[in-house]
Amino acid sequence: PYDVLVVGGGPAGAAAAIYAARKGIRTGVVAERFGGQVADTMAIENFISMKATDGPKLVAGLEQHVLDYDVDLMKTQKAVRLEKKEFVEIELENGAILKSKTVILATGARWREMNVPGEQEYRGKGVAYCPHCDGPLFKGKKTAVIGGGNSGIEAAIDLAGIVEHVTVLEFGDTLRADAVLVKKANSLPNITIIKNAMTTEVIGDGQRVIGLKYTDRLTDESHLVDVAGIFVQIGLVPNSEFLKDTLELTNRGEIVINAHGQTSIPGVFAAGDVTTTPYKQIIISMGGGATAALGAFDYLIRN
């Protein structure tokens, strides 16, 4: 068996693997797609010590760093089941079963998409999902935020300090965000909130986003909003479906961990966007991966 088996090859999984391997223990990584969300990211300007980088470069760096150590890297392999027996067992989609004394779950998350025409075409060309990451790219420009929950209204308040104007489009007839956030958003002169708005299309000029269309659900009229950026804030979905009923998840599907990265199953740790850790960012996921690996090592020397 492995001493530490990491499931996931994003920043959290890579950090966990490096920290584990540096203890000289038997370490494996299973990743459906090495690099994770970072592989889909163009500009990265908040990875501290690097003024600017991009996703493919950072992914290449992660892989080289992992392979610098004696780590079994199993790419394009998907975990479909976890079971704790004498060892922790991870079953892969191809039927293989991997055994390990400890497992670190770092399967990340995915942004819920609008599924409207233009969204995929203009992803990274005006369609964005992370205001902390991409907000500054729209400095002085008009932007829209899709979704009036906490993350949407937080994004609008954040963006209002950077961009020229923010239009928030909420599908329902009320905002689901906390009252204090709504009050703050309403107090800012450059935020407009439109309710009962169903976004129907992302409009671009072939290169970049130039606007969006929405239908007013009360009048059925279609409207055009002229924006350079669209932040989609309709939910971040943890990749934890395969863990349902095996360990403690929140009602949103996040794996519940303690300060050492330990889950509700002894010997099973978790890190990064799939967990309850607040603020989903590369640097935070890496820190979580390091914590989980040290937590797993601590567990190994005590058991």
Q: How far is the CB of 282 from ligand FAD (least distance, A)?
A: 3
For ligand FAD, the closer CB: 116 or 128:
128
What are the residue numbers of the active site? 130, 133-134
Cβ neighbours of residue 299 closer than 8 Å, sequence gap 6 or more: 102, 262, 266, 267, 269
What does the buried/exposed string (b/e) look like for 162-173 if buried means 16 or more CB atoms within 10 Å of the residue's CB?
Answer: bbebbbbbbbee
For ligand FAD, the closer CB: 32 or 154:
32
For ligand FAD, the closer CB: 33 or 99:
33
Q: How far is the CB of 191 from ligand FAD (least distance, A)?
A: 23
| Closest residue to ligand FAD using C-beta atoms | 108
Q: Is 264 left (phi over 0), alpha (psi -120 to 50) or beta?
A: alpha
> Rule CB under 6 A: which residues touch ligand FAD?
7-13, 30-34, 36-38, 40-41, 44, 46, 78-79, 106-109, 111, 129-130, 133, 239, 242, 272-273, 280-283, 285
Provide the CA 293 distance to its chain's centre, in angstroms: 20
Q: How far is the CB of 220 from ligand FAD (least distance, A)?
A: 33
For ligand FAD, the closer CB: 222 or 258:
258
Contact 28, 44 (CB under 8 A): no
- Which of 264, 266, 261, 263 shows the shortest CA–CA distance to 292? 261
Bridge partners of 103, per DSSP, are 5, 268
